[in-house]
Amino acid sequence: MSLSSPVPQHFSVRAVELDDTDPLCSYRDLFVDAPSVVSYLDGNSLGRPTKAGAEQVARFVAESWGGRLIRGWDEEWFDLPLTIGDELGRVVLGAAAGQTAVGDSTSVLLYKLARGAVALRPGRDEIVVDTDNFPTDRYVLEAVASELGMTLRWIESDPRSGVRADEVAAVVGDRTALVVLSHVAYRSGYLADAASITRVTHAAGALMLWDLCHSVGSVPIELDEWGVDLAVGCTYKYLNGGPGSPAFAYVRAGLLEEFVQPIWGWMGREDVFEMAAGYRPARGIRRILSGTPAILGMIAMRDTVELIDGAGIGEIRAKSVRLTEFALELVAESLVPIGVTIASPVDPSLRGGHVTIDHPRFRAATPALWERGVIPDFRAPEGLRLGLSPLSTSFSEVVAGVEAIRAELAVGD
């Protein structure tokens, strides 16, 4: 097969068969279609909007905001960060009510959780994080360590895989206050064994904080069952909340009475409208809030949470595995022979919802792919991420995307 030839025909035939027999195929029609997009392979960065979500946002502007005006706070908005938090907990986090709140960005919530967590472990002066964690996680923890005179203990993680329980066991000890890791690695898609790593962390007397940004809505999560202490995640990837939609924070019920976050604002106070001197944190998860919540940014994700609830996270995970396995088979046969390498785990039990492939020309190729209507994203030094959202991505889209990648690599050769 020459470099300029298309991917083998049997993949196109198989993709049609897989799409026709896909139990979740009807969900694709529920998303807003972009006519200029041939293959959207970036759902792990920004999910497509749902049609119902778009309608809900428009209706909110016209009716709730425009019609009810300030009365909306008393009628619904004041409790919405907690109401949606409970929905997220039930449907995608495996968390009982009263432990999850929506508000702020991932960066701000991560800072709040990390500062609050280390305060619960006085006398301990180390935070564990891995070298290939998402930049915000590393930067925020560097800031916390600098502010408090703590030390970061770095796990040298492999960018093509992720952090294992034995690697955590090797660095935690009686000085460890907090361990912060990503459930699914942003670069490789590696799916960490959250339950085992949490047990290892607890055995050392430390608290465990999971970043769920690349896993929530695509893989099953059981925070309560795993004994997780704290978690944070965004809502604009597999939850389709839209650009900049607010993140969520989870704090285990057993910690809430003692947990105090560092950004004290009126929305997290015991009596919000007392306007009195002195800050007293609200009871329960409301104490994680600070300023006025981004209500408009919470609206679109509600439809996706309903869709996930209806489809079932187990069925979503099953399709995610089928999608990524199909993509890896296609890459192995069509792209590996021309110099592309696979930078994600091949074992589906160790892989989240996206796969990463490497080639020295991918940075230059990405804008050209976008011009073709094929939209993956690039991650330095030479990785192309293929984010496959189970509810909105078809197998035929994967074929079209890989075919365009192959054609782009052929340009100039």
Query: Across residues 39-54, what is the average pLDDT?
Result: 97
Distance of CA 27 to the CA centre of its chain: 20
The answer to whether 237 is a known catalytic residue is yes
Q: Which CATH superfamily is domain 9-50+312-410 in?
A: Aspartate Aminotransferase, domain 1 (3.90.1150.10)
The answer to whether 385 is a known catalytic residue is yes
Position with higher pLDDT, 56 vs 411: 56
The answer to whether 48 is a known catalytic residue is no
The answer to whether 134 is a known catalytic residue is yes
For residue 56, pLDDT over 50 is answered with yes
For residue 167, pLDDT over 80 is answered with yes
pLDDT bin (cut points 50, 70, 90) of residue 6 is confident
DSSP 347: S
Per-residue pLDDT tens for 351-367? 999 999 999 999 999 99
For 143-276, strand residue ranges (E) read 151-155, 176-182, 207-211, 230-233, 248-251
pLDDT bin (cut points 50, 70, 90) of residue 8 is confident
CATH 3.90.1150.10 boundaries in the chain: 9-50+312-410
The 3-state DSSP class for residue 22 equals: coil
| Active-site option among 60, 111, 186, 236 | 236
The answer to whether 51 is a known catalytic residue is no
Identify the pLDDT of residue 1.
47
Between CA 137 and CA 143 the distance in angstroms is 10
User: What tokens does 223 get?
Assistant: 């925070």
Identify the pLDDT of residue 7.
82
For residue 412, pLDDT over 70 is answered with no
Bond into 381 cis (ω within 30): yes
| Active-site option among 48, 153, 385, 406 | 385
Between CA 349 and CA 321 the distance in angstroms is 9
Per-residue pLDDT tens for 261-312? 999 999 999 999 899 999 999 999 999 999 999 999 999 999 999 999 999 9
| Active-site option among 11, 134, 238, 248 | 134
CATH 3.40.640.10 boundaries in the chain: 76-307
For residue 136, pLDDT over 60 is answered with yes
**Quick one: angle between helices 106-119 and 135-148, nearest 10?**
40
pLDDT bin (cut points 50, 70, 90) of residue 342 is very high
Between CA 259 and CA 314 the distance in angstroms is 33
Identify the pLDDT of residue 323.
98
pLDDT mean across residues, the chain: 96
Identify the pLDDT of residue 411.
84
For residue 41, pLDDT over 90 is answered with yes
Per-residue pLDDT tens for 113-130? 999 999 999 999 999 999
> How many residues belong to the chain?
413
Identify the pLDDT of residue 5.
62
β-strands 383-387, 354-358: how paired? antiparallel
CATH 2.120.10.10 for domain 76-307, yes or no, is no
Per-residue pLDDT tens for 228-262? 999 999 999 999 999 999 999 999 999 999 999 99
| Active-site option among 48, 164, 237, 269 | 237
pTM score:
0.96
| Active-site option among 130, 193, 211, 229 | 211
- Residue type for position 44: N
